[in-house]
Each structure stands twice: as structure tokens, then as C-alpha cells.
Amino acid sequence: MDVLSDVLDALRLESTVFAHGSIARPWGIRTEAHQDFAFHVVADGECWLDVDGTAPLKLGAGDVVIVSRGRGHALRDERTSRAMPLEEFLSTGGFATRAAKDGTRLVCGCFQLESLPDDPLLASLPPVMHARSLVHEVAWLGQTIDVLDRESASEEPGARTVVNRLCDALFVFVLRRLLAELPAGEKSWLHALVDPNLGPALRAIHEKPADPWTVADLASRAGMSRSAFAAHFADVIGEAPIEYLSRWRLRKAASMLRAGNAGIAEIAANVGYDSEAAFSKAFKRSIGITPGAFRRGEGAAA
């Protein structure tokens, strides 16, 4: 079981490229905070990234950066350059299809994630995820950026699908880099993925969420005593093992409800509930609306 893929599937990751091309000096772009994750790929040249609440970050050719939702940010050729609102910049034709001398070539877009409150993955992501020289270190990514740039401007059938799939791959590669560079001792859901004890327990939960797991069962998977496992799990992830199991069952159910391919009773059984009534009660208590209302897209939780 690939836990990260399982969670990303439930989040229904979708990508959009909204700008691409070369920018001649001097230049600056400002984007206000919104509910999507922004991403920028520096295909050539360099620039500065200023994210609200963080220190300025210099980006170079081959870098990929993702800015978490709820964070306004600016890109500039120099730290002193004026940054105009993105809409204004786009309306003035700031992005050129031909390479600008001493300019910067960018691919900019956003990731939409259909998340529920307190999602474990999203809660563990930092404000900025910077994969330095990622395009250069992963051989095929350089060609991928070229294809992404070309397909973004294409009117060929299926171009949007190609762009979305390539961007989805970028998101995963940045998360991989983030996992590889996690500081020792960090306490988060992401760290639990690579924890030698917690990793096997998480894989067990995600592989078979309907199984009647107990703390003792999961501790056995982790190779720890029951008490030591429970304490370590809560310390790293921030909630007790059975709490996590219950929340994941409901998130999995929400993903299945969005897909719309199974009845509520079938979904309830697939995530470990003995009855549709028990499932519906737990779902409404956690999500705020009934499974049927959630499937119909009613209420803020949808």
C-alpha cells in the first residue's frame, strides 16, 4: 500500500496552468492568498520568491516551488522590483512566447485539492515547498517542462489533460523531495510515512481500512509494545491511532461518495461500519452533513 498515493487519490488533485513563457527584465508579479496551492517552475533564468510570512527565496533554473494555500506571494527578477497584480501583468502581455534576453522562463499554475477540515497531509505541509534543481536532477523532468510549456499553449485535442497529468507528477516529485529532506525529529503526518515503526502501521490502516484494527494489532505491525506505540503515534501524528483510523475511514468514504459509483450502504461496509445508520451518524458528526447531502454537494463541507 502506497499511503501517500492513497491520500492524494482521496484529495482528488487537479492542476491548472494559468501562465507560461519568458519575461523580460524588470518584472514582478503579485498573487493574493487563495484556496489553491500555487506552483512555479523556473524553466530558465532566475528570480526571487516572496511568500507572506517567510524569508525571500532565490529560485534558479530547474527549481520547482509550491506555495501552500492561504499564502499571498510575489515573484520578481530582483528583490527591489515592483510586483504588479497577476491579472494586470497578464493583461499587459507580460509573458512572451519567445525567449527574452536575460529574462526568466516560467510555468505557473495551481493545484486544487478537494480536502476536508484538518486533512493530515495538508496540515503537515510547510508554507513553501522548494525542490531545488529538481528538473536537472530528474532527467525526464526537463523534457516534461518543455512538453508542459508547449501543451499549455496548444489547442490540440486533449492538451488540458496532458498538462494536468504532468503537473500532478510535479506535485508528487516535490512531495518526495520534501520527505527526503525532513529534519530529524519532526513531528507530522509526513514524518510518520518514513518512520520505521509508524510507516508499517499506516500502511496497514490504509490497505485495509475496514478491518477491525485495535491498538495492539497496529503495535504489532510497528514492532512496538502497545503503550509505546500509542504514545509514539500520538506524539508524531497528533492523535491516537484509533482516532486516526476513524478519521481516515470517513475521508475514504467521502472520496467514494464524490466518485458516485457505490451506494451508501456499500460504502459504509467498505470502510468498516456494520450499518448504514452507524456510518451516517459518524459521518455527520465528523463532516457536518449527511453522506447523501455530501454526495449532492450540499453544505460547506462539500
pLDDT value, residue 302: 39
Q: Is there a single domain that holds both residue 172 and residue 104?
A: yes
The count of structural domains within the chain is 2
- CA of residue 249 relative to chain centroid, distance: 20
pLDDT value, residue 17: 83
Bridging pattern class, strands 128-131 and 64-67: antiparallel
pLDDT of 22-81, one tens digit each?
898 899 999 999 889 999 988 889 999 999 989 999 999 888 899 999 899 999 999 999
Residue 133 predicted with pLDDT over 90: no
Q: Is there a single domain that holds both residue 123 and residue 242?
A: no
Q: Does the residue 185 lie in any domain?
A: no
Residue 284 pLDDT grade (very low, low, confident, very high; cuts 50, 70, 90): very high
| Nearest Cα to Cα of residue 65 among 29, 39, 30 | 39
Q: Is there a single domain that holds both residue 117 and residue 242?
A: no
**Structural domain boundaries, residue 120:** 3-180
Q: Is there a single domain that holds both residue 128 and residue 272?
A: no
> CATH number, domain at 171?
2.60.120.280
Q: Is there a single domain that holds both residue 212 and residue 176?
A: no
pLDDT of 82-118, one tens digit each?
999 988 888 887 787 666 677 898 889 999 888 777 7
Q: Does the residue 101 lie in any domain?
A: yes
| Nearest Cα to Cα of residue 201 among 154, 262, 242, 247 | 242
Helices (H), the chain: 3-11, 86-91, 120-123, 134-137, 139-152, 159-180, 189-194, 198-207, 215-222, 226-237, 241-259, 264-270, 276-287, 291-295
The structure's pTM equals 0.84
Residue with cell 526571487: 48
Average pLDDT over residues 139-154: 71
Kindly state the cell numbers that stand for 155: 489547442
